[in-house]
Amino acid sequence: MPGRIISCWGKQKTGKSYLGLSAIETLPAETPAMVVFNLDKGITEDQLQHFEKHIKKIKLYDYDLPGTDALGTFANEKGDAGAVFDQICRDFKKACDNPKVGQIQLDTSSVFYQLACLKQLEIVRQARGGETQLHPTEYRQINMWIRGAYNYARDKGKTLYLTSHAREIYAAGDKGMDIATGEFERDSWSHTGAECNLEFKLLRTAAGIKMYVEASRYVLMPTTNGLASTWDTVEELCRGLHKAKQS
């Protein structure tokens, strides 16, 4: 099913990257290739070895990026986060325009969004000088960049698979101190859910890694029961065929 956007989020070591890579075994003959943007360096040689039979069909883009916690420092010191974001966008467009590419994986979309924000901050600093944060209206341009990229992939008939970090939710505590609630949410572009055909989280349980649907444009509604974390499950969900109980 080409021309769809799938969003997956979860904590580290829940198999987000691996799940997307496993789609290489199901891509149709007319679009056999997969392009992966390894923005977090989370995809390792060990993971790729699991798909050794298909390794020539996977194009991996790596960029000279630090860890996500250091992205702000990277932008402040080098001042070229915008240039990196622009290069990623050029490579992304190239992948979308390639008729042999069936799936594009942004790993992670959290970093993609952070770089877009840093690019906009660079633009604002050049215009006003000394700014350390964006005003709410200045996020509109970021929204246009991200939405434009995602919809371009959809319009070109690609399956766009987005992975996102999990961000801990904090609540106001005594003496103005925020406290961790123990709950988590998707940490990426806030409009992702509105653009996606399917959105789910991966959670490591006693029974293994399970998939929990949060939003779908198809038949299945969000569920409280975990589904098998396989690409076959994703395909079934995208066709509205899965028989999981509704919440």
Q: Do you know the residue count of the chain?
A: 247
Measured CA distances, 126 to 37, 206, 231 (Å): 29, 51, 45
- pLDDT tens, the chain, 247 aa long: 678 999 999 998 899 999 999 999 999 899 999 999 999 888 888 888 889 999 999 999 998 776 555 555 555 555 688 889 999 999 999 999 999 999 999 999 999 999 999 899 888 888 887 767 888 999 999 999 999 999 999 999 999 999 999 988 888 776 667 777 888 888 888 888 778 889 999 999 888 999 998 877 765 555 667 889 999 999 988 887 766 544 4
Measured CA distances, 170 to 19, 180, 183, 193 (Å): 29, 5, 8, 21
Q: What are the start-end ranges of the H helices in 129-188? A: 139-155
Q: What is the pLDDT of residue 56?
A: 93
The pTM for the full model equals 0.89
- CATH number reported for the structural domain that contains residue 108 in this entry: 3.40.50
Q: What is the pLDDT of residue 217?
A: 72
Residue 173 lies in a domain: yes
Residue 73 lies in a domain: yes
Task: Answer for the pair 225, 242: CB distance below 8 angstroms, yes or no.
Answer: no
- Alpha-carbon distance of 93 to 46, in angstroms, equals 28
Residue with tokens 């995809």: 43
Q: What is the pLDDT of residue 88?
A: 96
Interacting residues of 144 by C-beta distance below 8 A, sequence separation 6+ = none
Nearest to 33 by CA among 55, 53, 48: 55
Give the domain range for residue 19.
Answer: 4-179
Residue 93 lies in a domain: yes
Residue 202 lies in a domain: no
Residue 12 lies in a domain: yes
Residue 189 lies in a domain: no
Burial 49-88 (b: 16+ CB within 10 A, else e): eebeebeebbbebeeebeeeeebbebbeeeeebbebbeeb
Measured CA distances, 50 to 13, 120, 163, 228 (Å): 16, 38, 19, 19
Residue 195 lies in a domain: no
Interacting residues of 42 by C-beta distance below 8 A, sequence separation 6+ = 16, 17, 107, 108, 163
Residue 207 lies in a domain: no
Q: How many domains, the chain?
A: 1
Q: Which amino acid is at 145?
A: W
